[in-house]
Amino acid sequence: MAVTLTISETAAGAAAADVLAGGSTGIDLGQVTNGQYSPLILQSANTGHQDLYIRHDAVIDPITDVKLYLAQFSGTYGGANSAAADFATVGAYGVADGASAASTANNGDGFSRGVHIDMDWQVATASQFGYGREAGGQMRIFGKSYAPNDGLSLALAFDLHVDAMSYWNGATEVDATTPVTGQIGISTDTILGNRGHFRERFYLNTAEINGGIIQFDTVVSFAYTA
């Protein structure tokens, strides 16, 4: 039988359904100001991010080969240019970030740009989205090359990191006992965990001159046993 994913903003919540420009639903990351990021609480403290949780309805086997990548917006477009142009822009942001002197998680130097994810659900606030975390695979920037994966297609998608896996026991999120990169267990699986939990931000560099609404898809791919 088919397996259905739910991507939510809370551990046990309904599927994310923010109303987007154009009328489709999804995740609204909010307004971004030059030299900052969104969602933003207090830049100096590196606070603010969008939590996203992945769970599924399989009842026997886990899902495997869970990956993340960006794609052209598939809903009713309501941005400032076109869905194709937005996808190209977001990818170019990642390339430019990778070629810049960016080094601060809170964009304090103003060089960071594009879509960043942190795939450690327990990372400390001060450390989240830190560039030093790229070496371990927890932090990724879509469009930046990680020899060769750049997160802009299924073929070059980023694996959902082992540190993203958690177990929701009905009241509290706890660490999975023996998590595995790219695997999310069934609802009762305390070993692999029953959730993938990552954080997402959109960064804008100080010198950016283009404004307006940008729309794109964050895609989750996976394999399953029927």
Which one-letter amino acid corresponds to residue 132? G
- Tell me what pLDDT residue 51 has: 98
Task: Return the DSSP state at 187.
Answer: T
Distance CA 155, CA 164 (A): 21
User: How far from 4 is each of 10, 15, 51, 55, 186, CA to CA, in Å?
Assistant: 17, 11, 20, 9, 12
Residue whose structure tokens are 């100096």: 44
What is the number of H-type helices and E-type strands within the chain?
Answer: 1, 13
Q: At residue 10, does pLDDT exceed 90?
A: yes
DSSP string, 38-53: ES-SBGGGTB--EEEE
Can you tell me the mean pLDDT for 19-31?
Answer: 97
Do residues 12 and 21 touch, judged by C-beta distance below 8 A? no
- Tell me what pLDDT residue 226 has: 61
- Tell me what pLDDT residue 116 has: 98
In sequence order, what E strands does 59-132 have? 64-72, 114-118
pLDDT, one tens digit per residue, over 86-118 is 999 999 999 999 888 667 999 999 999 999 999
Please report which residue ranges of 101-220 form alpha helices under DSSP H.
none
- Tell me what pLDDT residue 109 has: 93
Report cis status (omega within 30 of 0) of the bond before 62.
Answer: no
Confidence of residue 211 (pLDDT cuts 50, 70, 90): confident
Q: At residue 148, does pLDDT exceed 90?
A: yes
The neighbour count for residue 129, using CB atoms within 10 Å, is 24
CA-closest candidate to residue 157, choices 204, 121, 117, 104: 117
What's the pTM? Answer: 0.96
Which one-letter amino acid corresponds to residue 207? A
pLDDT, one tens digit per residue, over 63-92 is 999 999 999 999 999 999 999 999 999 999
